[in-house]
Amino acid sequence: MKIIMLGAPGAGKGTQAKKIAEKYAIPHISTGDIFRANIKEGTELGKKAKAYMDKGELVPDELVCDLVVDRISQADAKNGYVLDGFPRTIPQAEALDAALEKINEKVDFAIDVDVPDDNIINRMSGRRACVSCGGTYHVEFNPTKVEGVCDACGGKLILRDDDQPETVKNRLEVYHAQTQPLIAYYTEKNILKTVDGTQDMAKVFTDIVGILEV
């Protein structure tokens, strides 16, 4: 079961990807997690990625493609995986398809978690991230027990630069220009499925499971 999660930044596709990975015992592969780990460790790749992410821009293809293909070739992904945050552009999708074709594989589902822009701006400005462990919360939908303090490690919570309203608007513009064309790309391949991401998170997940288990 090879799944790609689509949707604007803040649509909730990462949350759903984790739930899918857990239910079907397949790895959740998030380029965001890979980048954040590199940023935290101060690697060269991390510094380059951070410069783009802080401005709400996409990280260039060459920093991403090989990393992802290498990851999905690992043993824990032999029964499938959930890709979250990749591909983001048509060239990335084509590169992924070509790489999979070489090993006689293909993507089974592209699931689009559909949420209007206004909802996303409200959602993301309420997100908080732990500076220590990277855990994420939301002041309204997923608050911590103690305000400003991470439930998992007791670290301090912050509003990340890329969750600031102006940056979110920029990210949405980039998404509509560069990533939204993937919806047409995967529709043409007959693997696109759309779910209403404005619903309760549990209902969104139920809808996704319904698609995967048809």
Which residue out of 18, 40, 71, 160 is catalytically annotated? Answer: 160
* Cβ–Cβ < 8 Å for 87, 183: no
**Whether residue 169 lies in the annotated active site:** no
- In the chain, the largest separation of any two C-alpha atoms, in whole Å, equals 50
Residue entry with tokens 């380029």 = 31
Which residue out of 19, 123, 171, 193 is catalytically annotated? Answer: 171
Which residue out of 13, 19, 36, 123 is catalytically annotated? Answer: 13
Which residue out of 88, 123, 128, 193 is catalytically annotated? Answer: 88
What Cα–Cα distance (Å) separates residue 138 from each residue in 87, 127, 154, 206?
26, 4, 16, 22
Which residue out of 2, 19, 36, 127 is catalytically annotated? Answer: 127
**Whether residue 123 lies in the annotated active site:** no
C-beta neighbour count of 83 within 10 angstroms = 24
**Whether residue 88 lies in the annotated active site:** yes
Beta partners for 36?
A: none
- CA-nearest of 38, 60, 4 to 187 is 4
- The residues annotated as belonging to the active site are 13, 88, 127, 160, 171
